[in-house]
Structure 1
């Protein structure tokens, strides 16, 4: 789309009364969600302090003092209040968005239990699959078209149901896994929900846009306290579960809508690739951490400090600095892809993403080595470096490959 066409498109939208009504509704939802989040979080902090519901520092924790971990309650309340405050002007997705609220509510209570007393991992996975199945079968929401990636287009219903559930589980847990430092999960989710929301708004899917901007507003209010030194709060599993679920909902619906309207000028024939790029940091970091743990002979779900944000902290960056770097990387990739995506096929785009993932792996490995060299006493560096190389090579010695 050249500049003249873009200006004409914007002018047409500004003259469209329905679009402007949807735009004002989305902006009001954003502001109300931000306000509710800001005024409710101090209450959550106070109750957490009175009842001693604090997360204590530990070996894998990035914080140094006991901190409330129920920010997800405020995010949930902000989304719920601001989304249902206005009458819907778009009936296309209203049932699906209402079903997403049902799924989010299920995960909200699972997250609360997990934050309070913990929950069995198998039960946690079951209650992540359940909301996805509600949307798949009641909301008729599934990824059933692969846009020619690796030669695949339409796929069988059973495979599409399994793939959709996998996307929900993977993205929900990916957001949970990157929630390790101040602002990272919230910042990535704000960027993603704002990007999805903008496309939903431009294409007149106002119910989806309103929910996306509502989440963005709730997260902006949360981030004000997440970065605070005097009134800090974490989103906890409650927050990461509902945020990951909603982002998965936005991503699947984005892919689904573009396949349904693929001849519309506002649609993208590379929607799955765009969805991956928008969520590139949580996806890449989860894949990288799982690969490192498996190569080291450990369970991919075992706990460690191998996330990229941990490595950046070990290299001397602050929480704000690491968050800014990773969110900036995500934004840079989104902008770059939107500038050049029309000139390449989906299979080529997927191969480029594979190359970027390799660079992400390499960057993590080199930064890990640098952190060891800087922080370790000289007499222990050789042993630690040897251990890291063995982990990277699948537990073998480097000489075994020579």
Structure 2
């Protein structure tokens, strides 16, 4: 009977139930695992201690990525049987590889070279075995179909960029997790429009795992951090969603977002990418040091210096990025180069408001003196 049900099951006819079940399973697994993870972290002293460039006080467990990993993996292995098993298994393989690399880094510290190698391997497996890659830029700067190896190398670059962008912005309470949640919800929407059930369920499993984590991340009593485990997993999965979305949109000129998918991806991930490129410029060009040497030059640190709390900073950044996404959707049918120009101009203006605020605040102080 079960075999007959599975053989006759059509996921597209039950997408609402699949989303709900995926969120519930992931939420339940993650929320029930977090207390145990916190207890183990405290008993084994696996904590993130304040000091140096840290923006928090006291000691906090930094193994939140374990609960997120468990929620996503259990969800995909239970529901995945009726979906695109091949790509989900490869995604789980890549996530598991990054999970163990991140876990080792959170506990013992791992060299950047080993993390970079693991990221390349996880991304390379998906690209080669599923051929899910960015084959063109949809006419951005008149770039259309790219040669195969150029496409593969560019897709690998995008994976590494997104993974490390989420790793770098994980500096204050809720920022990386809330930005990830915002991006995943946006991807869930566009994949729902495409009826790509496997990706919608993947997005739902991430949402279900992130919600209980964010509750703890914002908490003052049982606080928990993502750690490198969580930030790398989230960055990798969001990169998977981004590249799959662009790839799906490129397959047909009649696809709903065929003329805007790269721009929408940039909008969904604008702040992590902007802050990462900004930080790399400051470290390489201005300070003449390795881009992987930690400092307090991130935009969220600038907000903290102005007196904003962690929650206020996260809210301002996420709301700003949501506004940018809304603007991008408004112009999604325009010429793609105009879309890019509007995105860059509006994004620059929105994220420059901080500097304007800082300048006005400084000016008022000077006048008051």
TM-score, normalised with respect to structure 2: 0.91
Q: Distance in 2 between matches of 1:18 and 1:209?
A: 11
Match of 1:80 in 2: 73
Q: Distance in 2 between matches of 1:369 and 1:104?
A: 43
CA change 1:142–1:372 in 2 (3 A) is same
Choose 1 or 2 for highest CA Rg: 1
Q: Distance in 2 between matches of 1:208 and 1:145?
A: 21
Task: Give the deviation of 1:373 after TM superposition.
Answer: 8.9
Q: Distance in 2 between matches of 1:199 and 1:88?
A: 23
Match of 2:313 in 1: 322
Deviations 1:139-179 (A, max 9, x none): 11111121011001100011000000000000000000110
Task: Give the deviation of 1:358 after TM superposition.
Answer: 4.1
Match of 2:241 in 1: 250
Match of 1:353 in 2: 343
Q: Distance in 1 between matches of 2:202 and 2:159?
A: 17
Q: Distance in 2 between matches of 1:71 and 1:246?
A: 16
Q: Distance in 1 between matches of 2:262 and 2:63?
A: 33
Query: How many pairs are equivalent?
Result: 358
Match of 2:283 in 1: 293
Three-state SS of the structure 2 residue aligned to 1:150 is helix
Task: Give the deviation of 1:49 after TM superposition.
Answer: 0.5
Deviations 1:178-216 (A, max 9, x none): 101111111011111111112222322111110111011
Deviations 1:361-389 (A, max 9, x none): 744555666788999xxxxxxxxxxxxxx
Q: Does the 8 A contact of 1:23 with 1:201 survive in 2?
A: no
Select 1:340's aligned residue among 313, 322, 331.
Answer: 331
Select 1:98's aligned residue among 72, 89, 110.
Answer: 89
Unaligned runs of 5+ in 2: 1-9
Task: Give the deviation of 1:295 after TM superposition.
Answer: 3.5
Three-state SS of the structure 2 residue aligned to 1:67 is strand
Task: Give the deviation of 1:347 after TM superposition.
Answer: 1.3
Q: Distance in 1 between matches of 2:281 and 2:248?
A: 33
Select 2:177's aligned residue among 181, 186, 202.
Answer: 186
TM-score, normalised with respect to structure 1: 0.84
Q: Distance in 1 between matches of 2:351 and 2:257?
A: 32
Q: Distance in 2 between matches of 1:302 and 1:370?
A: 31
Select 2:296's aligned residue among 305, 309, 331.
Answer: 305
Unaligned runs of 5+ in 1: 1-16, 376-402
Residues 100-109 or 19-28, more deviating: 19-28
Match of 1:236 in 2: 227
CA change 1:367–1:55 in 2 (3 A) is farther
Residues 362-371 or 193-202, more deviating: 362-371
Q: Does the 8 A contact of 1:110 with 1:127 survive in 2?
A: yes
Three-state SS of the structure 2 residue aligned to 1:352 is helix
